[in-house]
Amino acid sequence: MVDEDSLRAAVKTAGSVARARQFTSICLVLTLALAFALAAVPAFAAGMEAAAVGSAQPSKKTLSNEKPTPAGVRLQVLLDRAHFSPGEIDGKFGENARKALRAYAEARQLPSSDELTEDVWKALQADDRPLTATYTITDKDVAGPFLHKLPSKMEDMKNIPKLGYTSPREALAEKFHMSEQLLAALNPGRHFDRAGDTIVVVDAAGGAPGKAARVEIDKNRQTVKLFDKSNSLIGFYPATVGSEEKPSPSGTLKVTEISRNPTYRYNPAYHFKGVHTRKPFTIKPGPNNPVGVVWINLSAEGYGIHGTPSPDKISKAQSHGCVRLTNWDAERVASSVSKGTPVAFVEGSG
């Protein structure tokens, strides 16, 4: 005969075990759900410490084409300071950073490679200034006016009074040659819309590399190089060169004019994809104008070197036949060349 108290104890124990198992299962499910959620969050969501950028040592283990790393930021900043632009500084060791690395090695007569070598890293580290800095947001930074949204079609831009930035965050990121994601990562929780706030930025290059005696544009490699009068390579910039509908020219042209804050004029004879009107129209100046903040006119009708509203797409999307750079790189080239500077279009081997 079963003792009643023993039976109750057994039932109680069984219930406790069942509840414990249920609790364990719930915890396991929640843990897995959290793990998947974290995996889905962008790599920058947790932020990036400025100190980590300053102490990072680039290597095959710490550089990644897939995700931003402190080592990637450090390498990009040092290249940008040396006037060998990686394009938008985003912390990734992508195509544009590799191009810049190869050009930097070439300029210093080191073994040329799109991988970071010991000799190249030693040369880059000669610049031992801090890689990040603090910046106090000004009234001008947040004054606007800002666009609610940048239209995707050119025709929809023609009635906008100024093609400005869409937010203070976009404006500040471009000011310091950074992606918006990197700016946000260095400043978790900030909205960048209040004058007087102090933020962390990368301390990238400013100004032009020097006077260019000639410019070389490689249509295959999608690059722009500046050479001085002694034929030394003094500046390098990743570019978007030409398109199937309007290929870039061949041979050597010359700079005929430099226009800052240009008005964009659409010629319907070009028949650009996505533009349906058969009438010419103009788009007002601004950093999000189709040609960005500067137009360097060349001696072939309709061709030039210019900026872009989309710095993250440099070397990754076609242009409308011209040579597209980030806005800050276009400014640097414009400051380095002058009327009459020869511009050669070449076709590299890869």
Ranges of each domain in the chain: 46-124, 135-202, 214-346
Give dist(CA 208, CA 333) in Å, integer. Answer: 7
- pLDDT of residue 33 exceeding 70, the answer is no
Phi, psi of 205 (to 5 degrees): -75, 155
Q: Which residues contact 110 (CB under 8 A, 6 or more apart)?
A: 117, 119, 120, 123
Q: Are 308 and 326 a contacting pair, CB within 8 Å? A: yes
In the chain, the percentage of residues whose pLDDT exceeds 90 is 70
| pLDDT digits 0-9 by tens, 303-318 | 999 999 999 999 986 6
261 phi-psi bin (left φ>0, alpha ψ -120 to 50, beta other): left
Q: Are 55 and 184 a contacting pair, CB within 8 Å? A: no
Q: Which two tokens stand for residue 311?
A: 């710095």
- pLDDT of residue 36 exceeding 60, the answer is no
CATH topology of domain 214-346: L,D-transpeptidase catalytic domain-like (2.40.440)
Q: How far is CA 2 from CA 9, 10, 16, 134, 164, in A?
A: 12, 11, 21, 77, 85
pLDDT band at 268 (very low <50, low <70, confident <90, very high): confident
Confidence (pLDDT) at 318: 61
| pLDDT digits 0-9 by tens, 208-238 | 899 999 999 999 999 999 999 999 999 999 9
Please give the average per-residue pLDDT across 129-146, as a whole number: 96
pLDDT band at 83 (very low <50, low <70, confident <90, very high): very high
- pLDDT of residue 132 exceeding 80, the answer is yes
Neighbours of 177 (CB within 10 A): 27
Q: Provide the CATH number for the domain formed by 46-124 in this structure.
A: 1.10.101
46-124 and 214-346, same CATH topology: no
Q: Which residue type is seen at 311?
A: P
Helix (H, G, I), strand (E, B) or coil at 94: coil
Q: What pTM was estimated for this model as a whole?
A: 0.85
Give dist(CA 79, CA 196) in Å, integer. Answer: 30
Please, what is the average pLDDT of the chain? 86
- pLDDT of residue 297 exceeding 50, the answer is yes
Closest CA to 253 of 326, 309, 302: 302
